[in-house]
Structure 1
Amino acid sequence: MRQKQVNPQQIKNLYRVYSPSSMTNAFLAVKEQNMSVKRASRQYNVPETTLRQRILGRVSCDTTSSGTPPILSQEEEAVFVEHLKAMANMGYGYTRTEVVQMASEYAVTLQKRDREHPFILKWFRKFMGRWPELSVNKPRSLSVARAKATSKDVVDTYFQSLKEILDKYGLQDKPENIYNVDEKVLQTEHSPPYVVGPRVSTVSAVTSGKSTTTTVIGCGNALGVSLPPYFIFKGQRMRQELLDGCSEGTGGTVSESAHTSHVLQPLDLGCFGPFQRIYNSECHKFIRQNPSSTITRYNICSIACRSYIHALSPANLQSSFRKSGIYPYNPSTVDELNFKPSFALKSSCHTVTDE
């Protein structure tokens, strides 16, 4: 007899693992809110048949997949998951290795494992599969000073002062008169962009090697009009050739050290991110087209100007002012997740003081 061919994807879908919290929420929606099984299945993205079996009591609501059950119960893992999410939101997330080590200690505390048999990365992969609301991300850097400063009180005070200024000078409906000035530090040794190549573990990208920094001061208004950039080169004497290849209106100077936010500055929110990515791509293109050349302070201006024009486009500038809540004026635009690092630091300081 000819055996029926089974699609591996069908097997995967049949025994797929779903978020325990999603199944619990769907179960409660049916039981406590009289939602239909079909609607709850669609809303919480869980299998309808599986949900129905739990509603009818044929399968325990805690069961999330076939095979050997996890060592930690759903409730125990849920506590662990909430801790991981809370720490990541406050700016103190854990690495894969740290999560595995912590879970092992957790299991030992619960007397479900001994120290001679800790969890391994295989457990981590299955754990992440059970909790798809978690993911491994590369976080942005956040200095302690910025973390402390980004509190709800500080942001509320900022928006109160902003409204007073907008009202005083009648700027609520004049985006062409609302400007933002900010700076961006560029390195001559750029970070290579993603490239298309052979399917191997790693590929290389040629860069300039030794790196120096150049500061670019950008400016644009809420209507979407950008002003030419201003460059600050590291050095003691300004040379005109440092501005070779620049766009019209660009200026510059030199300084032995030029150094001067992240949730209220329009250019930071919507322009300097694209600026960095475009700059990296332009540097990569320059190196490819000029194999014997490197990026120095004498050609960084022309590369940066091309990137600046695209990054500070009318659409990006308008979006940046909208995201920052400056224009249109919107104090509630700042996500409250940004306040958590400040809250954690203040709580830590109070604890130390109390002790």
Structure 2
Amino acid sequence: MVRTYNKKTKRGEWSKISMKTAIDKVLSKDMGYRKDASEYGVPQTTLERYVNKMKEGGEVTIGVPLGPKQPIFTTKEEDEMMAYLKHMGERLFGLTTLDLRRLAYQLAVRNSKAHNFNTDKQMAGVDWLKGFLRRHPDLSIQKPEATSAARAM
């Protein structure tokens, strides 16, 4: 389902820069909420919520991700995984997709990451694999072929 999902609403598609500019305009009393929201293309209620948080003195992080799905690994961790896959390929020990899925599960368990991987099979799902390959298009996961020792030398 995740691989083929298409977003059906425009919710959360405003830019962080326009929201920050709109907040600054409202706080400096240059514009009101309604005019400011329509001019910068941000939702009025969201603008009001951010302005109220700023007035209370709280720390505001603009652009909180929508939905319950959070990435399991950081970009640094995924880059390390990609470097490991390339290194193993250079050593003529290519990994299959099942190996990669098992590796992802083991990394998530060892690093105490919150994950929704299959604990019975002890491997990541196909959706995670497809997303990982989409985020790293320079990877080419293929079935590894047997290599003779003479060629490896």
Q: TM-score, normalising length from structure 1?
A: 0.22
Between Structure 1 and Structure 2, whose CA radius of gyration is higher?
Answer: 1
- Name the one with the larger strand percent: 1
Q: TM-score, normalising length from structure 2?
A: 0.49
Higher relative contact order (CA 8 A, sep 6+): 2
